[in-house]
């Protein structure tokens, strides 16, 4: 290991220690500030007690304390003075903690530079070791290959999620359009007029066009999923094709309104179920992405440990 790499490791360890100490210090400052707030309330109460006692008559003092005013006033003033001293000490202690916090934060301004230097030197050292054809070099080569594979998988998952998110958006549009037209012939208080029917038909046409867009996206989605899950078959485009068949022969009064309404109702719920299926796949992909990130972090950490121990 080179001297520059040793120094970079030490500098990074110092940064880690500073961050840990800073986190503890921030927590301590918060505790002290909470205590100071409580002490401030006590201070205000003691101050009010002194002011109240100063205003009381001798008769009032007798009935309240069964003693003389001078003695009771002295006791209250002493208690007030004790709280004042404690309050001032607490303020000074917090000021010292804040000063220490500023010093630590100043040290952390070099964190990015230290990390970049360490990573650069570790990478150079790893490449040196991998060229030696030693046991350590071969182990690093295998780890590097695994990292590359995970990185490629991460790209595939990202691409699949982009397509999956677009599919979800378009399916929600279809669901909204179909939901407006479930009662094709009868709206609940009247039958659809020609204008109403024309508007409803336009909604169905738009839902159908959006459905064909979804079908094309699903073909792409299936290709992306195949890259991730291998031979696992989803048959999503085929399912969407079945859903799109709902418009067959319902225009031009070829079939009764209640049948059309049933078809739309059935398609609406099928589309909702299909959207939920896509959502589950997207959720699974998100978890795969998280697992891949975790695996890459583990491999990168292992690689660095091997280099630092070599």
**Using an 8 Å Cβ cutoff, are 236 and 273 in contact?**
no
CATH number of the structural domain 138-309: 1.20.1330
pLDDT at 196: 54
Question: Biggest alpha carbon distance in the chain?
Answer: 107
Please report which helix (H) or strand (E) contains residue 189, including its range: none
pTM of the predicted model, to two decimals? 0.59
Residues 6+ apart with CB under 8 A from 8: 114, 117, 118, 121, 122
* Residue ranges of domains in the chain: 3-131, 138-309
Predicted confidence band of residue 229 (pLDDT cuts 50, 70, 90)? confident
**Using an 8 Å Cβ cutoff, are 214 and 246 in contact?**
no
Q: How confident is the prediction for the chain on average, in pLDDT?
A: 80
pLDDT at 258: 54
What confidence tens digit (pLDDT) does each residue in 99-154 have?
999 999 998 988 999 888 888 888 888 887 777 878 888 888 888 888 888 888 99
**Using an 8 Å Cβ cutoff, are 108 and 18 in contact?**
yes
pLDDT at 192: 47
**Using an 8 Å Cβ cutoff, are 126 and 278 in contact?**
no
């Amino acid at each position: 290991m080179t001297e520059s790499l040793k120094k970079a490791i030490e500098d990074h360890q110092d940064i880690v220690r500073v961050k840990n100490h800073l986190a503890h210090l921030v927590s301590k400052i918060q505790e002290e500030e909470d205590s100071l707030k409580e002490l401030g309330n006590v201070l205000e109460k003691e101050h009010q007690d002194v002011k109240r006692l100063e205003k009381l008559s001798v008769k009032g003092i007798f009935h309240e304390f069964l003693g003389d005013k001078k003695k009771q006033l002295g006791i209250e003033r002493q208690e007030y003075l004790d709280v004042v001293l404690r309050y001032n000490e607490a303020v000074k202690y917090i000021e010292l903690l804040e000063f220490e916090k500023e010093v630590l934060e100043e040290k952390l301004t070099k964190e990015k530079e230290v990390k970049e230097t360490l990573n650069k030197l570790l990478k150079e050292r790893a490449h040196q070791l991998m060229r030696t054809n030693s046991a350590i070099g071969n182990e690093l080569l295998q780890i590097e290959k695994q990292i590359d594979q995970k990185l490629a998988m991460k790209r595939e998952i990202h691409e699949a999620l982009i397509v999956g998110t677009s599919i979800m958006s378009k399916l929600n549009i279809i669901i909204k359009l179909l939901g407006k037209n479930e009662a094709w012939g009868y709206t609940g208080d009247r039958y659809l007029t020609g204008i109403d029917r024309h508007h409803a038909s336009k909604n169905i046409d738009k839902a159908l066009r959006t459905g064909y867009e979804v079908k094309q996206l699903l073909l792409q989605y299936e290709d992306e999923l195949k890259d991730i899950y291998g031979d696992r078959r989803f048959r999503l485009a085929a399912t969407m094709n079945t859903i799109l068949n709902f418009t067959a022969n319902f225009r031009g009064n070829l079939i009764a309104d209640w049948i059309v309404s049933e078809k739309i109702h059935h398609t609406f719920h099928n589309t909702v179920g299909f959207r939920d299926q896509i959502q589950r796949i997207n959720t699974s992909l998100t978890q795969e992405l998280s697992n891949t990130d975790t695996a890459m972090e583990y491999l990168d950490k292992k690689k660095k440990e091997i280099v630092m121990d070599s």
